[in-house]
Structure 1
Amino acid sequence: MQERRGHAPSPTRAPPNADDIRAQLARILSSEEFPQVGRSVSFLVYVTEEALAGRSDRIKGYSIAIEVFKRPEGFTQDDPVVRIEAGRLRRALERYYLVAGQDDPVRIEIPKGGYAPSFTWRASADSAGSNEKPSVNASGWRFFLSVRSIVPMAVGAALAIGVVTMGLVLSAHITVQPKSSPAIDGPTLVIAPFVSFRNDPQAALYATGLTEELLTALPRFKEIKVFGRETSKSLPPETEAALVRDELGARFLLKGAVRVSGNAVRVTARLLDTDTNEILWSQTYDDKIQTRDMFAIQSDVANKVATAVAQPYGIIARAIVAKPPPSDLGSYGCTLPFYAYRAELSAIRHAEVRECLESAVARFPTFATAWAMLSIIYLDEDRFKFNPSNDASSPLDRSLQAARRAVQLDPGNARAQQALMTALFFMQNVPEALRVGEQALLTTPNDTELLGEFGTRVAMSGAWQRGAELLDQAIALNPGGGGYYHGTRALAAYMLHDDKTAVIEIRQADLQKFPLFHAVAAIIYADAGMMEDARREAARFNEMRPDFIRNIVAELRSRNIQPDDRARMITDIRKAGLPAEDEVRSTMLAPTDGSVEVWPR
């Protein structure tokens, strides 16, 4: 990093004094890049003040457990709470200095091997600049922080409140320039080590392997934050939900057990809400060692658990919707409305989500998932004619640009790959779109949002049978997913001349606020001979999208529908009572008002 104003730090400079250190502590605690959950704030304040008081040699795991975590005097070192939180605090400080604190004059660290902090001048801060007092009332902070010496650790609770108000003052003097994707500020999950029944060595081996597989499978879902291996391994086997809530600030705990009896393997898994200790979900998986090896069983179970728990419409998402946190969710606050919009596909929700996501990427420009969702929202301006903006660039161009930004920021992000695939598809680059989808599915095979979207693209490019199979997988993995899974599956069944399935699936889709749902319902009912239903749906569609029919050929082409399939759809929409021109006649007419749309896009 370059030296500011060209001065190098003096090698003989005195170490930071107490005022320098307390001012730096104020900067850290007021930053949005430093977590205000768990006990990181209390931990950092305690060890800093102890060190400034000349008591570094007394900063031990035992004293921290008593003073910060309020463990009873009979506390034993078997409790891993201090080790867990110390690791979390080290990572939080490291992130702070990488993102918000790049130009701060003083560095506060908790060196590994102990808990006493170190205070050093930053190499990037010049002598003159570092000696300048920050525009913070340091003596006020000193008084505030030293309250802990009068009322032991009362600051642990008060500081979190004080930081909010002091942050208004500090924000005028601290510039935050994020350089990497921020951690999702939504639901957090801890995976406790799976245990074995009866301390069986073989079952213990399976349990260890399964825990590792879960630690690999769950972080692929970017809408949740999963604590890492170090945290998981440091937890006792029978971790209590209250410990996870109080010491790690995590909302959800996944735990389970493995039993081996002869050739039979049984895995039980359950997800708990740490706020209430309620079991939100539980499942039992049975398998046979003689038919499949240990690694295959572990991988299969881990993928099934991860899909049920963490997918966009899964157990955690439903729990958050049912009981949202009381605090502002920040960037994560747009993701739940995004999926609610995808489940409903209405113009009103589209406008709300677009505004939220545009605000999110302005505040967090490196948040890949928000860029990916925004790409899909921009695409819907074009393909669904939802809320066209006054932007000079076309919705398709903005969609592709946002998708590429998301992939650049996080190449492994399933939502980013989904957005890029879909944008490329509607830019008429079908081979590249399907290549991106295939590759993304290899990386994240159980993300049903990606799987359903890829199945839709495959089907609409003409491979209706394979598309139907992919959509069946998405529906099986995620029965509570968006209605558009069923809507696209209904269209695939129609194209495959499976009238019975087409009717069943279109009724399950039930997207009443989505105009193109009614168009697909009309052609399905017409093909099945259900003419009253067909005419009703066709009339409803024409009311909602009166501009559609005169451009039907162009719209079907824009979605890469093949010529024979286009002809069949036009025939059936005419049966349903709408005056759609066939393809030959439409080529003789010159449209003058642009293109419209056919569902599903």
Structure 2
Amino acid sequence: MTSEAAIREALARIIASRTFEKSERARDLLNFVVGEELAGRGDRLKAFTIAVDVFGKDENFDAGSDPLVRVHAGRVRELLDQYYEEEGAGESLRIFIPKGGYVPVYEEVVPHPAAVRKQVETATLAGVLGNHARDTAESSLSDALREAIGTRSAAGLGTIAPRGVDGGATALAAETARNAATGLASHARQADRVGGAPGQGGLTPLILRHMKLYWLAIATIILMLAYVVFSLLGEQAAAPVNDARADLASRGHRGSITSALLPSVAVIVEDEMPASQMVGAELNSMLPKFDTIRLIAGEGNSSTTGYSFSVKSVDDTNATVRLINQATGEVLMSAGVTTSERSMIEAQMARIGSMTAGDGGAIYADIAANGSGNSLTRCIILNHEYFRDQLDTLHREAWDCFEEIARRGVKSPLVYAELATLMVESVADKRGYPANASLEQAQRLAEQALSRGPQSAHAHRAMGYVLARQGADAQALRWARSAHELNPHNLDFAASYGYALIFAGEYGEGTRLLGLAVDNAGQFQPWWVYGLACGLLMLDRAEEALAYADLVRSRSSMHYLALRLVLAQQAGKADQAEYLLAELQSRNTRFTANPEAFYRRANYPVDLTSRLLEGLSGAGFAPGQQDR
């Protein structure tokens, strides 16, 4: 039975590893669940308990609708897989968190073959060369070669057989190494016999040394070839049976993560009726424009697709679209589509696409709920969470997640686009990381996104966001419009373009697009509502603007409170205005010290800035001193 001391030692090594060093939340979660299990409180390890005790959530946390714990548990599982694949490959006691729960399990295993291969490579080859450099005497060299290659390589490679690898293939690699070792030792012995003792008529020491170096080089080449064969065989079987295997299988040229890591979908038209055929064609035209999924041509099947859009006619002009999880058969979304008018079809397609295929849609919600994601999908989910809540901890985790898969050679435009956007956020909020954070570096990341996906709406939007922060308003607006045109069915891009229009002073069209997004996307980001309320304020529709602004009343950011105060005062909501004024006046921040500086620094239009400042003054707000 595994001792508690051994488990805690293994845990300490994991927590202190390079793999976990960048993810504080992953360390906290793993440390908590192991500690609770060892203390006999494994039955307490539920999503609610973890959310409260680890992530500081209050008693109102809803584990059913908020995937926070599931996402971070999935991240811990992924990091554990990575740890045992790399620096922890030699660990015999391993900690796992099985999917579907949070209670850790401990398993004693034979050390990972990768650890043995690494030991063979470093201890054998480096040991041989090191011994040769140190030992110039002929007999010492022969002994060193025989010991290092004949013993370490042959024994090490000959006794390890990864699970799932054909025994004959593994034996072939091991036999190659043993033959190389035996041959080298044999030639070393022959050289000893031929050379003899000095003065006995054998080869001179110089010639003998060259012969030994020659055979050493030959043996080294053979060993390296055997190592390559063994590595290829071992990697296929030794990878854990989870998303780490999917990662390895989907890495393309130079280890890049390809679109194979994105959720795969298929469109299945159930009948030959005109309505279903038209809707099916619209879906096949729309879905490839989403960077967050991968459309499989044809109807696909459960082995090649994770999700399917099933289309079935109701009558000649109406059809039903259902999104189905292929593995479970669960219907995640169902919507009716009317095909009688072209404009109606486009609006309905935009609603369906945004509710299902976007990063905040039903597909990603299902992945988060089931913990079935991989490294790329988890990054996308974390990124969506950050822009929903805009917490520093979420920003850091999203940045670290995208940075890690970019470091592994990813070529996805989506990854570089989101890195560019997150860097702009880091610069704007003075977060202090990454070390080279600047708007110029963010622009370079956006350019990399464009080079990898010239038609990627995410890449175009990222460039627009960077340019907007740089003050290049006209160019920023052009890129935001381009992103919307590349994927008009994703209301996220409609909202981004509408927001850009609002802050370029074009309130009419900006308000229309943001209203369309907020009303139809299924779920919305708080900044959509903020931009919409600003636009409605400038169109003298304060009461309507307040109704929208109240949708994000939980937001405690100062500029949100200030906007709601202005709208409440102008809409004649005296009690609400009084409460918001007291709340705002009680804060000592940079915003409350100088709202005008905040608006100018954020490049608000001059007329919007004036309207907000006049509204704050009319509501009785007086700028105070920032708390140092």
- Range of TM-score over shorter length: 0.5 to 0.7
Q: Which amino acid aligns with 1:271?
A: L
Superposition map of 1:317-396 within 5 A: 317-325=364-372, 329-383=374-428, 385=429, 387-389=431-433, 391-394=435-438, 396=439
Partner of 2:535: 492
CA distance in 2, matches of 1:392, 1:140: 37
CA offsets per residue over residues 132-160 of structure 1, 9 Å max, x none? 7341465995xx9xxxxxxxxxxxxxx97
Compute the displacement of 1:322 (Å). Answer: 2.3
Partner of 2:254: 178
CA distance in 2, matches of 1:139, 1:434: 51
The 8 Å contact of residues 395 and 422 in structure 2, kept in 1 or not, is answered as yes
The 8 Å contact of residues 337 and 345 in structure 2, kept in 1 or not, is answered as no
Partner of 1:411: 454
Question: What TM-score do the two structures reach when normalised by structure 1?
Answer: 0.59
**Aligned to 2:523, which of 466, 480, 495?**
480
Question: Is 1:188 aligned with 2:264?
Answer: yes
> Tell me, what secondary structure is at the counterpart of 2:494?
helix
> Relative to 1, partners in 2 of residues 1:530 and 1:297: Cα closer, same or farther, differing over 3 Å?
closer
Q: Which amino acid aligns with 2:354?
A: T
Q: Which amino acid aligns with 1:281?
A: M
Compute the displacement of 1:544 (Å). Answer: 6.2
CA distance in 1, matches of 2:345, 2:612: 46
> Relative to 1, partners in 2 of residues 1:456 and 1:444: Cα closer, same or farther, differing over 3 Å?
same
Superposition map of 1:102-121 within 5 A: none
Consecutive unaligned residues of structure 2, counting only runs of 5 or more, are 1-84, 86-219
Identity of matched residues, %: 17
CA offsets per residue over residues 39-70 of structure 1, 9 Å max, x none? xxxxxxxxxxxxxxxxxxxxxxxxxxxxxxxx
Compute the displacement of 1:561 (Å). Answer: 2.6
Consecutive unaligned residues of structure 1, counting only runs of 5 or more, are 1-29, 31-127, 145-158, 197-202, 236-243, 582-590, 594-601
The 8 Å contact of residues 178 and 366 in structure 1, kept in 2 or not, is answered as no
Partner of 1:275: 327
**Structure number having the greater helix percentage:** 2
CA offsets per residue over residues 269-313 of structure 1, 9 Å max, x none? 11111222111111222333xx66xxx887666555433321232
> Relative to 1, partners in 2 of residues 1:538 and 1:387: Cα closer, same or farther, differing over 3 Å?
farther
CA distance in 2, matches of 1:344, 1:140: 43
> Tell me, what secondary structure is at the counterpart of 2:339?
strand
Superposition map of 1:8-47 within 5 A: none
> Tell me, what secondary structure is at the counterpart of 1:523?
helix
CA offsets per residue over residues 459-507 of structure 1, 9 Å max, x none? 1211112211010111232032222222221222222221211211111
Superposition map of 1:158-307 within 5 A: 161-164=237-240, 178=254, 182-183=258-259, 185-196=261-272, 203=273, 207-208=276-277, 210-227=279-296, 229=297, 231-232=298-299, 244-245=301-302, 247-248=303-304, 250-258=305-313, 264-288=316-340, 302-307=349-354
Compute the displacement of 1:371 (Å). Answer: 1.5
CA offsets per residue over residues 14-60 of structure 1, 9 Å max, x none? xxxxxxxxxxxxxxxx9xxxxxxxxxxxxxxxxxxxxxxxxxxxxxx
> Tell me, what secondary structure is at the counterpart of 1:268?
strand
CA offsets per residue over residues 80-139 of structure 1, 9 Å max, x none? xxxxxxxxxxxxxxxxxxxxxxxxxxxxxxxxxxxxxxxxxxxxxxxx999973414659
Report the structure number with the largest CA radius of gyration: 2
> Tell me, what secondary structure is at the counterpart of 1:254?
strand
> Relative to 1, partners in 2 of residues 1:550 and 1:400: Cα closer, same or farther, differing over 3 Å?
farther
> Relative to 1, partners in 2 of residues 1:432 and 1:444: Cα closer, same or farther, differing over 3 Å?
same
CA distance in 2, matches of 1:451, 1:545: 35
> Tell me, what secondary structure is at the counterpart of 1:339?
helix
Partner of 1:155: none
Compute the displacement of 1:508 (Å). Answer: 0.5
CA distance in 2, matches of 1:451, 1:130: 60
Superposition map of 1:464-475 within 5 A: 464-475=507-518
CA offsets per residue over residues 330-386 of structure 1, 9 Å max, x none? 122111111111111222322222222222322244221122112222222244x26
Q: Which amino acid aligns with 2:306?
A: R
Partner of 1:12: none
Partner of 1:528: 571
The 8 Å contact of residues 184 and 331 in structure 1, kept in 2 or not, is answered as no
Partner of 1:448: 491
Compute the displacement of 1:455 (Å). Answer: 0.7
The 8 Å contact of residues 503 and 525 in structure 1, kept in 2 or not, is answered as yes
Question: What TM-score do the two structures reach when normalised by structure 2?
Answer: 0.57
Partner of 2:196: none
Q: Which amino acid aligns with 2:330?
A: E
The 8 Å contact of residues 531 and 576 in structure 1, kept in 2 or not, is answered as no
The 8 Å contact of residues 426 and 437 in structure 2, kept in 1 or not, is answered as no
Q: Which amino acid aligns with 1:337?
A: L
> Tell me, what secondary structure is at the counterpart of 2:512?
helix
**Aligned to 1:459, which of 486, 489, 502?**
502
The 8 Å contact of residues 426 and 558 in structure 1, kept in 2 or not, is answered as no
Q: What's the C-alpha RMSD, in Å, of the aligned pairs?
A: 3.7
> Tell me, what secondary structure is at the counterpart of 1:280?
strand
Q: Which amino acid aligns with 2:264?
A: T
> Relative to 1, partners in 2 of residues 1:280 and 1:556: Cα closer, same or farther, differing over 3 Å?
same
CA distance in 1, matches of 2:455, 2:255: 18
- Larger relative contact order, structure 1 or 2 (CA cutoff 8 Å, min sep 6): 1
The 8 Å contact of residues 457 and 467 in structure 1, kept in 2 or not, is answered as yes
CA distance in 1, matches of 2:405, 2:596: 37
Q: Which amino acid aligns with 2:313?
A: V
Q: Which amino acid aligns with 2:265?
A: L
The 8 Å contact of residues 460 and 559 in structure 1, kept in 2 or not, is answered as no
Question: Is 1:512 aligned with 2:561?
Answer: no
Aligned residues: 403
CA distance in 1, matches of 2:232, 2:533: 66
> Relative to 1, partners in 2 of residues 1:315 and 1:331: Cα closer, same or farther, differing over 3 Å?
closer
Partner of 1:569: 612
> Relative to 1, partners in 2 of residues 1:504 and 1:444: Cα closer, same or farther, differing over 3 Å?
same
